[in-house]
Amino acid sequence: MTLVAAAVCPHPPLLVPRVGAGEPVAAREPALAAVRRLRAADPDVVLVVGDDPEALATGSRAYGPNAVGDFHGFGVDFRVPLGPPAGAGAGATPALPLSLAVGAWLLAETGWRVERRGIGVSPKAEPAEAATLGAGLVARAAAAGERVALLVMGDGSARRTAKAPGSLDERAEPYDEIVERALADVDLEVLLGLEPGLAADLLVAGRASWQVLAGAVRAAGAAGWAADPLYADAPYGVGYFVCVWERGGAA
């Protein structure tokens, strides 16, 4: 058993309190609860997976524990390393994409000093490519004898309302409902069937990352997984999901 648990969380910068400046973000506590559930699974390593525009040419990009998320672009002088504080001072410090930066904050906020690595995924990755990436993560964990958990960062459509970042698209809510049900049902085929073109039209920032998750679970053995949906809403016109997948049923 190499893949022991997974959590899906959104990655709006407002999730980080220093960026949100007091904004009551309803997804924040469920996301932190999901990370605590990963901790309870006692993995050796957490792999943080998320959308990465810098990975367009290569399909994916690996980040070590010294990579740093910087929220300066959101008007806040705040940086958070991917890895635990003990390993954050040495070596180069490549910049994390927003998705992984928010994931790093979630891990740091829970005080969990587990080993962490980041996987940035191209938003243009084809479903088969993303699934193969997920399968490869499981294979490498098995070869190393590691118990791995996935923290999968990804937003739904940013076109849920007229005031959403991409304005209203009538296809956005039905799309997000499909994703919500697939996450709640651990429906790998539905997740792998999400079409890249439609996701791009709807400004979905989680499609490829969810497909990495589906590929990883399929490679690890799809039987015996159960989901615990903790949150699903679109408070800013963007679909946010928080869901925990565990082997043998939800705690």
pLDDT for res 90: 52
d(Cα 95, Cα 79) in Å, to the nearest integer? 10
- What residues have CB less than 8 Å from 174, skipping those under 6 apart? none
| CATH number, domain with residue 41 | 3.40.830.10
Q: What is the mean pLDDT of the chain?
A: 94
Segments in the chain below pLDDT 50: 86-89, 249-251
**172 token code pair:** 């956005």
- What residues have CB less than 8 Å from 121, skipping those under 6 apart? 49, 50, 51, 52, 55, 59, 60, 130, 133, 208, 209, 212
d(Cα 124, Cα 179) in Å, to the nearest integer? 18
Domain limits for position 26: 3-247
Domain tally, the chain: 1
**Count of C-beta atoms within a 10 Å radius of residue 75:** 11
Q: What percent of the chain is helix, strand and coil (3-state, nearest 5)?
A: 40, 20, 40
Note the pTM of the prediction, 2 decimals.
Answer: 0.95
pLDDT for res 179: 98
pLDDT for res 88: 44
How many alpha carbons fall within 13 Å on the CB side of residue 143? 6
